[in-house]
Structure 1
Amino acid sequence: MTTVSDLALLTLDPATGTRRLGSYGEIMLGGAALNDLLLAGRLEVTGEGKKARVLVVDQTPVGTAYLDQALARLARGRKPRRASDAVTRLGKKLPRAAYEALAAEGLLEARPAKVLGLFPTTRYSVRPAARRDELADGVRAVLLGEREPDERLGALGALLGAGGQVKRVVPKGRRREAAKRAKALTEGVWASEAVRAAVKASEDAVMIAVMAATAASTAGGAT
């Protein structure tokens, strides 16, 4: 399992089979892909904050199709990219690829459906082998301070926070507290430099996307 596939599972509604990644799904999964590729030694992050840059240091495939495709996209141009730009590029079309891969692995069962009875889409049933409930329980415990984070669960909790999606695993009454803890996870000593870099880049990319959407809305309202 990759960080990408874990995050895709967590943001799938097991009751309806609907993907619930939210408005910033590509960015969230792009951050997960950045995490996976950093840990695999394919990428490197230099600098911090706004000066952070992501560089491809090894183009050797990792053996997971959607990660290899994301790596190839990032490698085009062969120049360091701003971390937030790297996340955006890595996440392009990644949600669909991640869910299709989970179905191909037998962890999800895909079924055709229609939105509003008109528009074709795909719903997914979670199979027991995916162990989604176990994964969600672990991330929830980290976000509620009931369990110490490790590199897998801590990264997932922080990425859910970056995308505003802690609600996928945390009950309504405790989401504000979980969101604060998700934010704090980016500063924790539990995480490697790679994990912290991936989460920070995701937060930056979401912030940029929100600012761009707000600016577009304001401009549209002014015309």
Structure 2
Amino acid sequence: MELPSSLPQRVFLLAYNPAKGRVGMGTELGAMLRAGALADLYLKGQLTDVRGRATVNDRLPGDDSVLAGLLGEISGSRPRKWQHWIDKRQRATVGAVRQQLADGGWARCQPYKILGLFPATRVTLRDPRVRKELLSRVNGAFRTPAGRVDPADAALVTIVAAAELNLVVDRKARRANKRRIQELAELTGPIGPALRKSIQAAASAAAGG
């Protein structure tokens, strides 16, 4: 079974709730997708960490428009912390990744209006087995020796755990696998901590506003 190649697309599919036919309200989708893109570039060696800041190591954009766009953002800026890049352009990234899934045949996207007024997009998975395979990979990462886990699967675990995506890894599973999650997070360097800080900052801002 073929899976989407990019981490942002895989994260989107994991965040999708088949029972509700959509990504649940309150899901930190934008932050997770930005973190997924950073993790992709980090694992590919195109980004590296220099004193806590995302630094371009390889400027070749590749053929993925979302990853190339983020690499261009970072290339055109002074060095900034990883959290900064997770915080930026989340809504645009959600739309871009959703379109990638539609273009690649992974999902069907239908525009509609909530209450007849507010534009939205209804997403339907074309093959539910793809999401089930991604779930299997996440669960398998808890049973496989850390050194043998695919780095992309380690990044998925890191992202869904940091974002507390209970649909994939609930609180009980996070507690039971706390040590393993920490081991897997080391493979994606600064991504997990940056994602947690981004979500915490957004929550604090919302509570204060």
- Normalised by the length of structure 1, the TM-score is 0.78
Structure 1 unaligned residues grouped into runs of 5+: 218-223
Distance in 1 (alpha carbons) for counterparts of 2:13 and 2:178: 21
Structure 2 unaligned residues grouped into runs of 5+: none
- Residue 20 (1) aligns with residue 19 (2): no
- Residue 207 (1) aligns with residue 200 (2): yes
Contact 2:185 2:192 in 1 (8 A): no
Counterpart of 2:182 in structure 1: which amino acid? E
Counterpart of 2:174 in structure 1: which amino acid? A
Note the alpha carbon deviations across 1:73-123, whole angstroms, 9 max, x for none. 22222x211121122236452111111101100111122334345433211
Distance in 2 (alpha carbons) for counterparts of 1:72 and 1:92: 17
Aligned to 1:220: none
Note the alpha carbon deviations across 1:125-184, whole angstroms, 9 max, x for none. 212287111111322454xx445552222221221121121x2224xxxx2222335654
Aligned residues: 202
- Residue 80 (1) aligns with residue 89 (2): no
Distance 1:91 1:114, change over 3 A: closer
Contact 1:28 1:202 in 2 (8 A): yes
Distance in 2 (alpha carbons) for counterparts of 1:41 and 1:146: 27
Distance in 2 (alpha carbons) for counterparts of 1:3 and 1:119: 29
Distance in 2 (alpha carbons) for counterparts of 1:82 and 1:13: 31
- Normalised by the length of structure 2, the TM-score is 0.83
Aligned to 1:2: 6
Aligned to 2:92: 93
Distance in 1 (alpha carbons) for counterparts of 2:76 and 2:91: 14
Distance in 2 (alpha carbons) for counterparts of 1:21 and 1:70: 25
Distance in 1 (alpha carbons) for counterparts of 2:38 and 2:68: 12
Counterpart of 1:180 in structure 2: which amino acid? R
Q: Secondary structure at the match of 1:45?
A: strand
Shift, 1:18, TM fit: 1.2
- Residue 105 (1) aligns with residue 104 (2): yes
Deviating 4+ runs (over 6 angstroms): none
Contact 1:3 1:33 in 2 (8 A): yes
What's the C-alpha RMSD, in Å, of the aligned pairs? 2.6
Contact 1:46 1:53 in 2 (8 A): yes
What is the identity percentage for the equivalent residue pairs of Structure 1 and Structure 2?
26
Distance 1:203 1:181, change over 3 A: farther
Note the alpha carbon deviations across 1:179-213, whole angstroms, 9 max, x for none. 33565455316853xx1322222122222222322
Distance 1:45 1:181, change over 3 A: farther
